[in-house]
A = this chain, B = another copy of it.
Amino acid sequence: MSEPFSRRLTAALRSKKSALVVGLDPRVTELPSTLLDRYRAEKGLTLEAAAEAVLEFNKGLIEALHDIVVAVKPQLAFYECLGLPGLAAFRATVNYAKEHSLLVITDGKRNDIGSSVAGYADAYLGETRLGEASYCAFPSDSLTVNPYLGSDGIIPLVERCQKYQKGIFVLVKTSNPSGTEIQNLDCGSEKVYEVVGRLCHEWGQSSLDSDGYSAVGAVVGATYPAEAAKLRKIMPHAYFLVPGFGAQGAKPEDVVACFNTDGLGAVVNSAREIIFGFNKRGGDYRTAARSAALEAQKSINKALREEHKCAW
């Protein structure tokens, strides 16, 4: 792990010719029923059974997709609601993804200040030191974070990113309809999300890699392509993590604005359409996920080429 996170992300994009991230959002009620049934038969209807089914589901997805997605993005809420067994499944998922050379973007939207945010940084990006020993609780490559508390909440994370070659993605312009309530407030000549974009740009200045990308990325929804284009100019050095593609309605041509002209600078998340692809496509969930992911990869790459943004 001698390279900055942004370099590792760029290398993965180039070698896989893919900007696709798969969201590992394993809602228990939507898992393939045979999978849950097997663990239920063993352990009853317990959190342990659900968590083991989730882990097997994730492992199957990782095996089916590791060569066509650059990263997995586990959404912590789906693991936390399964309690300690759920968090054990999360940790095992992280490790399994890394064994398959996938980057892990933990979607926790964490935020706090001082020693609290340092605690999150230790938990997901750095290490917890106990005397001469040290441990990483949930060793991810990157973490999503929320900027509402300002620099006090971000700088400690950036320091850990630089020390451990990790990354963060700061929520800037989210993909959901009501994201506008705060993010699109007019403040003078700019909207709140543009101010946040400028802050991210500053936070990233100390961690530029040799391609000019920083450890401070941004979450920018594909559902607002005009805003994404503005943010692309405000934050030329930031990798964008782009939600909203697929199930949330954004099309391949909508995500293009999130990329730089070098074909880099963005990764596109898709969860439901891939991981629960078997609902539409039938058959084994892994085969369906692979088909859905290949289609997504192809459609994004086509849109990038049409805009002359694909230099891979």
Per the bound structure, the CA–CA distance linking A181 and B203 in Å amounts to: 13
Copies per complex of this chain: 2
Please determine whether A182 and B45 come into contact, CB atoms closer than 8 angstroms: no
Please determine whether B185 and A199 come into contact, CB atoms closer than 8 angstroms: no
Stretch touching chain B among A187-195, A279-287, A296-304: A187-195
**Interface range, A side:** 35 or more
Q: Which residue of B lies closest to A129 (CB)?
A: B29
Interface flags for A170-184 (1: CB within 8 Å of B; 0: not) read 010010111111110
Please determine whether A177 and B192 come into contact, CB atoms closer than 8 angstroms: no
Per the bound structure, the CA–CA distance linking A86 and B177 in Å amounts to: 36
Per the bound structure, the CA–CA distance linking A1 and B28 in Å amounts to: 28
Please determine whether A119 and B78 come into contact, CB atoms closer than 8 angstroms: yes
Per the bound structure, the CA–CA distance linking A247 and B187 in Å amounts to: 33
Q: Which of B45, B129, B181 contacts A130 (CB 8 A)?
A: B45
Q: Which of B84, B113, B135, B147 contacts A176 (CB 8 A)?
A: B113
Per the bound structure, the CA–CA distance linking A293 and B199 in Å amounts to: 39
A147-B148, A148-B148, A148-B182 provided; 18 other pairs, C-beta below 8 A?
A47-B137, A75-B116, A77-B117, A77-B118, A77-B119, A80-B123, A80-B137, A83-B135, A83-B137, A84-B88, A149-B176, A150-B178, A150-B181, A151-B178, A152-B179, A182-B199, A185-B185, A192-B192
Closest 6 CB pairs of A and B: A77-B119, A150-B178, A83-B137, A150-B181, A45-B133, A185-B187
Q: Give the B-binding residues of A (Cβ under 8 A).
A: 25, 27-29, 40, 44-47, 49-50, 75, 77-78, 80-84, 86-88, 91, 107, 109-120, 122-124, 128-133, 135, 137-138, 146-153, 171, 174, 176-183, 185-188, 192, 195-196, 199
